[in-house]
Amino acid sequence: MRRKLVIGNWKMNGNRAANAALLSGIVSGLKDVNDRADCAVCVPAPYLAQCEQELNATPVAWGGQDLSIHASGAYTGEVAASMLVDFGAKYVLVGHSERRAYHGETNELVAQKAVVALAAGLIPVICVGETLEDREAGNTETVICAQLQAALDVIPVDQLDKVVLAYEPVWAIGTGKTATPQMAQEAHFFLRGCVAKKSEQVATKIQILYGGSMKPDNAVELLAQADIDGGLIGGAALKAADFLAIIHA
């Protein structure tokens, strides 16, 4: 049985005082969580040191929200994989829908970032998802398959089991529109099938997280779906009580 994984994506939010209260609340609330779930927070780069200090020796892992394909050099504003590792990061998001939309990240660039992350010993959380326009045109599977396939083409099969996938129906994030648990399950099942074409063994093990506005009130039903292995949590990850409720679910 695949372990559940809940990752909080803070996006561009936080300050040192608020972070301290949030992390303390999460850690204290995890004391009675069973061993079927893992959790992590992916934070803005300036707060990696704070996470390392406050989460070391706790059940909560931490990670970055993006990374450069370059190891070092004249790339102002970029964050290298080695820098994330230097602060004890375990995970890194690659290809988040906001990076794709606002920064023009291509499927090929996202795939390259995943390869760089793996080489550094990080677990890349490869994000895929369709827009409302894609869904209404009936192109959901075509779009998310192309996004995933770019990564499958360059990640060796013996590294694929170190990858986490996240499905983000872009049209259901912060829009008031919702994907039903069945719609989410169908997309996750499809993605698992795409992985199976490269390795059936990996497909049975790979964790696929749901990133479409999972909240305490819909987490139980979503997490009960056969192919939904956890959540990539946005807004609810900024409130300890909400984040814990999803983990408990």
Known catalytic residue at 96: yes
Query: How many Å is the Cα radius of gyration of the chain?
Result: 17
Listed in order, strand segments (DSSP E) in 109-205 are 123-128, 164-167
CB 40 within 8 A of CB 60: yes
| From 54, 98, 168, 188, active-site residue | 168
Residue 124, SS3?
Answer: strand
CB 85 within 8 A of CB 122: yes
Known catalytic residue at 103: no
Alpha-carbon distances, residue 42 vs 77, 102, 232 (angstroms): 18, 19, 10
CB 18 within 8 A of CB 48: no
- Pair of tokens at residue 240: 């300890």
- Pair of tokens at residue 57: 């020796």
Distance between CA atoms of residues 183 and 199, nearest Å:
24
Apex 104 CA angle, 49 and 119, nearest 5: 50
- Tokens 């989410």, located at residue: 184
Residue 8 backbone zone (phi > 0: left; psi -120 to 50: alpha; other: beta): beta
Enumerate the β-bridge partners of residue 92.
64, 124
CB 218 within 8 A of CB 200: no
| From 96, 98, 105, 130, active-site residue | 96
Residues with catalytic annotation? 96, 168
